[in-house]
Structure 1
Amino acid sequence: MRARFTLADIQQHALAIVDRDGLVGLTMRSLATSLQTGAMTLYNYVDSREALEELVVDAVSALVEIPEPTDDWLADTRAVATALWRTFRAHPAAIPLVLTRRTSSRASLAPAEALAAALARGGLDGVDLFVAFRTVSAFVMGIVQNELAGRLSHEKDPASAAQRIGELAQGVLPTLAQLAPVGAAFTGQEFERGLTVVLNGIKHTPRPPSSRRTPHSDG
């Protein structure tokens, strides 16, 4: 019997539900309704809620537009990190799954491979490559989570949030009080400038003598 749906069909419909209704809206019944089939039919394709959530993670990963590699490892690392950030922030409701669910296909690991390969072209290997990879990945996901928290907060205006923090910190936490008005005005640039700080740190980290790789470019 020919399969009625492909996994790609199920992934796309599941992600559309999560984007529209959040994670609580994703059930076998809601997915079956979206696909215009019966819920029991879906068990021929996915056998559990966990497997269904893994397909959502794969669907998000598949949307990352991986840039072609060049001879400039810093530019490549920035390009891949930016592609990840743009994709994840476009699907904020799926972020908890990206953080907690495993990937279930080799294709979904392609963005991670692109990021690791770009850093490796900068002369990193072994532990240094692993740490750099985890650092860039954590920065991207941290920024995305902060943005998600802002969307979910009742206080969506950055200026009012900064004012509240400034008032709480005034006279007691002087550095935070000083930063509050900066945070109110500094919106939409955290990712670009923060990524520059991270990449500059990686670029200027001393390479171990045992490293056999040569950076293709100093950026």
Structure 2
Amino acid sequence: MKVIGLTGGIATGKSTAEKILQDLGCFVIDADKVVHSLYENSEVLKEVKTHFPEAFEEDKLDKKKLASIIFNDPEKRKILESIIHPKVNQEIDKWLKEVKEKNPNAVAIVSVPLMIETGSYKKYDEIILIYAPKEIQIERLLKKGFAQEEALSRINAQMDIEEKKKYATYIIENTGSIEDLKRKLEDLYKKLVKDC
């Protein structure tokens, strides 16, 4: 089985790439979706509430409030990450084990936005980076309704996309149409399957 890390920057098209790779036949797990499912777990919520009581409305977690707390306080972000990251890694490892049992020749894609920042990229055989230059990231965020300042602060909160290129085995430039992205990923998929 080949285990590949998939990453990108905000508004580079990582989610679209995930869907295309899944349609081509890859097994895909998205760390963001794992995080969302963890927030449904009462044990996890209890732990989060201990450290972030101000992010709760009675017993309900206000994810926007939590995001704004950790977005503005690196120390608090570290606390949340120390609760969530080990659980996400456990879920990913469990999933990889299941995929391997089902299909030993699978191409398994683990999609993690901050894989380079956290160092978890080292766990994967190869890394795919979905790339778009900063101007295009800004343009796409503005189209989604973000204000210029907000768009920039979100982009700047992540490692510079140019810096991420150094860690990638494959750089898929996503500056054109979805069809264009699809063609590039189809070519890459053929190569990955051949190498399995």
Report the TM-score range of the alignment, normalised by the length of the smaller protein.
Answer: 0.3 to 0.5
Compare the two structures and name the one with the higher helix fraction: 1
Compute the TM-score of the two structures, normalised by the length of structure 1: 0.31
Compute the TM-score of the two structures, normalised by the length of structure 2: 0.33
Compare the two structures and name the one with the higher strand fraction: 2
- Greater relative CO (CA pairs within 8 A, separation 6+): 2
